[in-house]
Amino acid sequence: MESEITGCSIRDACGRVVSVWLIMLDNVPTVAMFVLGAVLVRMAWGSAAIAMVLYDLLAVVLFWRLICRHCAQFGSRACPCGYGVVAAKFFKKMEGGDFRKVFRRYIAIMYPCWFVPLAAGIHLLYSRFNKSALTIFIAFTVIAFILIPVISRLVGCKGCDLKDQCPWMRPGRASEAQP
Ligand code: SF4
């Protein structure tokens, strides 16, 4: 039986709600990448691994603060990776911004999470080659440069309402003006 509901308090009742398994699918490989990346940095440069872990955490928080706040999915369970919900617990939404410009301006904060461990792995294999280093390096590169982008494009972000505005999913549109 249908009933008239006024002032419904159910958040996102009429919008997309990304399932927990999809959020896990998005985040578990990222965590694995951070762990393997820290291991590579540890093997190559010792205690610099602590700085790597701290930077990874900082980069995620900066991503919430600098990028997610400008996103229409902020505070919504429509966010494919769950950041939108978590970020809203710590930061306030910014209205009226150009999400594509903001995304392109700040996305570089995430680059060291991928490229510092890559550099550490290459340095390690060049200077002190061994099988365990090679195995970890391969696992890191497969997760970071193949698995994460593929999951994001073919699963997590595939059903996102904002994919046409997002420079990650539509890089060719990234330089256009806001519609
Ligand atoms: S869709 Fe992307 S930018 Fe938007 S809230 Fe989620 S993680 Fe942040």
pLDDT over 90 percentage in the chain? 70
Q: Which two tokens stand for residue 2?
A: 């249908």
| CA angle in degrees (0–180, nearest 5) for 147-148-154 | 85
Q: Where are the domains of the chain?
A: 20-173
Q: What are the tens digits of pLDDT across the range 82-122?
A: 999 999 999 999 988 889 899 999 999 999 999 999 999 99
Mutation to probe ligand 1, out of 73, 85, 93, 158 (largest number of atoms < 8 A from CB):
73
Distant-in-sequence contacts of 117-120, Cβ < 8 A, 24+ apart? 117/33, 117/36, 117/37, 117/38, 117/40, 117/41, 117/52, 117/144, 118/144, 120/37, 120/40, 120/41, 120/43, 120/44, 120/45
Which helix (DSSP H) or strand (DSSP E) does residue 16 occupy?
A: none
Tell me which of 159 and 55 has the higher pLDDT: 55
Minimum mean pLDDT range among 2-16, 22-36, 81-95 = 2-16
Cα–Cα nearest to 73, from 62, 87, 59: 87
What does pLDDT average to over the chain? 87
Task: Please give the C-alpha separations between residue 2 and each of 5, 17, 21, in angstroms, as whole numbers.
Answer: 9, 22, 30
CA 13 to ligand 1 centroid distance, Å: 19
State pTM to two decimals. Answer: 0.86
Ligand 1 atom nearest 71 alpha carbon:
4
CA 78 to ligand 1 centroid distance, Å: 9
CA 79 to ligand 1 centroid distance, Å: 6
Kindly indicate the confidence band of residue 128, based on its pLDDT and cuts at 50, 70 and 90: very high
Cβ–Cβ under 8 Å, residues 56 and 27: no
pLDDT exceeds cutoff 90 at 124: yes
Ligand 1 atom nearest 64 alpha carbon:
8
Q: What are the tens digits of pLDDT across the range 43-87?
A: 999 999 999 999 999 999 999 999 999 999 999 999 989 999 999
